[in-house]
Amino acid sequence: MNGLFCVAVHALIYLDKRGCLLSSEELAANICTNPARVRKVMAKLKKAGLVTTRTGTDGGYQLAADPAKVTLDMVADALEVRFVEPAWHSGGGVDCGCMVASGMAGVMDHLFDDLDRRCRTHLAGVCLADLETQLESNQKGEPL
């Protein structure tokens, strides 16, 4: 899973819970990452309309959407995240004389695409408010 997705979800929930404008430094301190990473994520969330920003010394980010209407799939779309993706392909390519060596990469790509779609389908049914409820009722972080 892409770490930027985790940063984004954490930031959006923290923004909602705080209910005010927060700087990238304040968000980074809560997320336990660096402010540059937060700014990179927040720029994409702003473009998707999930946060608003104000520049200047008193600037920062604020949640722009109802957490009950923001699904995790929407967050993933904003970040252009793929959840299941091969880091490497086996085989010798389509010009190889062996059916397995020439076709395995395509077969595995199809499998990974299907798994990614299934992840997205699940995430489309989970919203930020669901995670907030889980945080409030279960500090162990058990799955939804």
Reported pTM? 0.84
Q: How far apart are CA 121 and CA 73, in angstroms?
A: 8
Residue 98 — pLDDT band, cuts 50, 70, 90?
A: confident
Mean pLDDT of 39-58: 95
pLDDT at residue 87, as a whole number: 77
- Let me know: does 81 contact 4? Beta carbons within 8 Å: yes
SS3 per-residue string spanning the chain? CCHHHHHHHHHHHHHHHHCCCECHHHHHHHHCCCHHHHHHHHHHHHHCCCEEEECCCCCEEEECCCCCCCEHHHHHHHHCCCCCCCCCCCCCCCCCCCHHHHHHHHHHHHHHHHHHHHHHHHHCCCEHHHHHHHHHHCCCCCCC
Q: How far apart are CA 47 and CA 139, in angstroms?
A: 32
Q: Which two tokens stand for residue 61?
A: 């980010």
Q: Which domains does the chain have, with CATH numbers?
A: 3-137 (1.10.10.10)
pLDDT at residue 74, as a whole number: 97
pLDDT tens, residue by residue, 65-97: 999 999 999 999 999 998 888 777 777 666 777
pLDDT tens, residue by residue, 4-24: 999 999 999 999 999 999 999
Location of structure tokens 């985790």: 6
pLDDT tens, residue by residue, 112-138: 999 999 999 999 999 999 999 999 887
